Chains A and B, each alone.
Chain A
Amino acid sequence: MSLPLALIFEDDPKLAELYNMVLKQCQYETQVIGSGKEAQKSLQTLSPDLILLDIHLPYVSGLEILKQFQADKRFKDTLLIVMTADLYTVKDLDGIVDHILLKTHGITKLRELATARINPDR
């Protein structure tokens, strides 16, 4: 059985690498996408199980991608985790997305969520 797919939309290479590592450890097949345009394209062709979205992406904002994601029924079972460095964004998106994580709050929560997605019973 193939591994579940996680898309990492993050423009900062170091953070992308960190998330990539964590998600791989959680048994995901991962793909790192650093720009908003690339992210939009990938959403047209790929069917990810998990999307890690940095809301401050260059060229096309994370909010645009969020709209595209929410409008597409194909993603109804996809777990969306929004990553942000900004407390205000957390407030703005409260109730709109499944999970919002502050970048400064580390990866413990991310690991929990990613693991729970694959093994809901555990």
Chain B
Amino acid sequence: MLEFLGADIPTKLFWAKIQYFGIIGLPLSYLWFALEFSDRRARLTRARLAGLLIVPAVTLLLVFSNEFHRQIWTEWNLESIGGTLFLNLEHGIAFWVNTVYTYLLLVVSTVLISGAVMRRAKLYRRQITVILLGIFAPWIGNAISNLGLLPVPIDLTPFGFTITGIAIVWGIFRHSFLDIAPIAYETVFESMSDPVFVLDTQNVIVDINPAGQKVLNQTADQIVGKHVREVLEGQADLLDRFRNTMSAREEIAIDENSQVHFYELSISLLMKRQGKTIGRAIVLHDISDRKQAEAAMADARDQAIQASQMKSQFLARMSHELRTPLGVIRGYADVLNEPAYGTLTEPQAKAVREIIDSNQRVSDMVSELLDEARLAAGAVQLESRLFTPASILEDVETKLSILTQKKGISLTTELDPELPVQLVGDPTRINQMVTNLTSNSIKFTKQGGVHIKFYPNGKEQWAIDIKDTGTGIPKAAHQSIFEPFRQADNTITRKYGGTGLGLSIVKQLTELMGGEITLKSKLGSGTTFTIILPLNTELPE
């Protein structure tokens, strides 16, 4: 465009030559920008830069000495188009060499920028549109001019670059195009609520954000340039601990004005692009609130555990206190029952039996209460020893057949021959579980009987079925029946007795053993409880 400044050939030719500073300089600066933008500036070594400058330098030389060799322009004359004088130029070989070279630079730059754009595409979509507009403008301008598509002989490439420039400026101001790196970092650094300290390799503070200044209660002027040891006098321990730490993330406690603050400290190395360490960034994230909440939760948990333990201790004490007089009652009833005090009449003997029966019921309830309390407090420890399932089955049958005989119902047992003869577990507890479920079934069965079966359930488990022909359990109660102090119907306690803890205890023990308990029942046609337990045959080491 500069050639419009003159009216004669030498002046126009002079400006056409000056124009070449732009024609050569713009693609080069464009490449520089592309390298910067794509984080590849480091690859531009001095030698490579020198290589890149050969063609432009030679071109410039040829432009200014064109009259002697005519390698850039072979012919030049003035042409009047619509009353305006244009310098009409015929291009020489050197012009085309430079044009090809310019295209090459444009291609490389475009590829670099496009690659970087793709990487950042998600974050900077609008900015990317702007820059793509800018990238292709010089291409279009240059192509139009060189292909002679214009009615007037002017070069549109500089126009293209002008559009590139406008697009980039527009991108910067309107769409925060450059907020990618430094501006963004600076803003984040300044506005972060977490204190950030930047130390150089000598541990001198080179930067500190406002949050950091607030924590230290000093301004940046007072802090920057000082050794970290001077600034954090009170934290000698901490400094020693992290003096040479290059990377860390851990929780620390700092005593600030006799109040302990908790921080999450993270240390990151700061490196130049070439990989050389230039310092460390230390970020402190205040986690005092979180710590306080954690401590409060731990306190609450401790209190709950303590309360539970106290409840357990209280119940243990109470049950001991209750059992001692129960023992006295039972003892004297036994004495009466024995011939030591003379033979009893039948009504006297019946009275003594009633005393013994009721005494037994109260004493069983006390045991259940204690069991429930111990289970709730997590105080029950299971044994792990070898036992014979058959002997449990036998023991339960012997113990409870007195009850079934009294009621006129049957009690049968079945041991699957496939079940290993010996298992490892807590036989006392398993006995208790089976006894509990069986006596429960006996309680609710008027006709028919109760059947106990032990059998393997796959290779990893074994199962216990307790099947009765009793009243059955309504569907709605299938879940709640395992909750403590619950029975399917609250008239049950009155009618059949019991604490309502039996099933809850069995369920908790089953789960403690890593098993599960289920029930199948239909009103009027009986109930089957199934306990599935892990099958162990090896003693733990």
**A residues adjacent to B (C-beta < 8 A):** 12, 14-15, 18-19, 21-22, 25, 56, 85-88, 91, 103-108, 111
Contacts and interface: CB of A to CB of B under 8 A. Distances in A.
B323 A111 contact: no
B330 interface: yes
Given A25-B340, A85-B319, A87-B367, A15 B324 contact: yes
12 contacts: A14-B328, A15-B327, A15-B328, A18-B328, A25-B340, A87-B367, A103-B324, A103-B330, A104-B326, A104-B359, A104-B360, A106-B327
B335 interface: yes
Contact of B334 (A14, A86, A107): A107
Interface in B331-359: 331-335, 338, 340, 356, 359
7 smallest beta-carbon distances between A and B, as pairs: A103-B327, A85-B323, A106-B334, A104-B363, A18-B331, A106-B330, A14-B328
Interface residues of B, number: 26
B428 interface: yes
User: Chain A binding site: helix, strand, loop or mixed by DSSP?
Assistant: helix
B335 A18 contact: yes
A87 B334 CA distance: 20
Contacts of B320: 56, 85-86
Nearest to A91: B428
Contact of A15 (B319, B331, B335, B367): B331
Interface string B360-376: 10010001001000100
A14 B326 CA distance: 11
A109 B335 CA distance: 12
Nearest to A16: B328
A106 B337 CA distance: 11
Contacts of A108: 334, 338
Contact of A107 (B335, B363, B383): B335
Nearest to A17: B328
Contacts of A103: 323-324, 326-327, 330
Contacts of A12: 324, 328
B327 A104 contact: yes
B330 A105 contact: yes
Nearest to B360: A104
Contacts of A105: 330
